[in-house]
Amino acid sequence: MALGTVPRFSIVVPCHASRAWLRPCLDSVLGQSFTDFEVIGVDDADPDGSGRLLDEYAAADASNLTMPQFNTLENLTINDPTSHWFDNVSSGTVVVQNATAVINQAFHDAVSHLTTLLGPTPASWVWGDLHFREFPALSGLSALSRGPYSAGGDDYTLNVAAGLTAEGGPSWRQVIDLKNPDNSLAIYPGGQSGNPLSVHYDDFLVGSYLSGRYLRFRDFPNQDSILATSVESIIMLSPG
């Protein structure tokens, strides 16, 4: 869609608790060959950060881009590097661009942008200076949420962390020793308590989950086998 013109179609994408499917949805819409349209993303008080994903696409001026899906782009780069997809017809030059030219230009643009953000020494650049994890509460209350924290990972790593600010990913992680279950390991991004005023509300998060550490399972088959040193408090529930 050319700047200043009225598009033929408006595609409205409502967003409420939709982060899991929003990126594939937008990529699919923007990946078509027809371009005379606008995309209107409606942030309907979403609780999961969908609005921030819309902001990410808006900052990239994605509404004016026509792009193939990632798997299509990979196939074109390898098997059809002179495809018309690689030619930027708005560049103001008569030179027809191919995959090599676009990749080189993208690389130089990325280095220039990162130099502005992180300084002139690439050896000092850290992914975690740009990429973060947040743990928003389902209620949306910031007092119950945690983050942002510097983090590794991306959309395609085992420890998934999509976007520049990831608000989703693997939660419960475990490694089971089938021979000796007592040696099994697990971790999740929270704590032993659901009370936000408790020191145990998030005591697994920073010390273990974010650093990739796991905690060992404890096998307590009955009350008598629980070590006294392991008990911090006891809650008694009595019928009223």
Model confidence over 152-203: pLDDT tens digits? Answer: 988 888 888 888 999 888 888 899 999 988 889 999 888 888 888 888 899 8
Write down the pLDDT at residue 132.
94
Q: Where are the domains of the chain?
A: 1-67, 171-240
Write down the pLDDT at residue 7.
73
pTM over 0.95: no
> In the 3-class helix/strand/coil scheme, how is the chain assigned residue by residue?
CCCCCCCCEEEEEEECCCHHHHHHHHHHHHCCCCCCEEEEEEECCCCCCHHHHHHHHHHCCHHHCCCCCHHHHHHHHHHCCCCHHHCCCCCCCCCCCCHHHHHHHHHHHHHHHHHHHHCCCHHHCCHHHCCEEEECCCCCCHHHCEEEEECCCCCCCCCCCCCCEECCCCCCEEECCCCCHHHCEEECCCCCCCCCCCCCCCCCHHHHHCCCCCEECCCCCCHHHCCHHHCCCCCCCCCC
Q: Higher model confidence: residue 210 or residue 232?
A: 210
pLDDT band at residue 99 using 50, 70 and 90 as cut-offs: very high
Model confidence over 101-150: pLDDT tens digits? Answer: 989 999 999 999 999 999 999 999 999 999 999 998 888 888 899 999 99
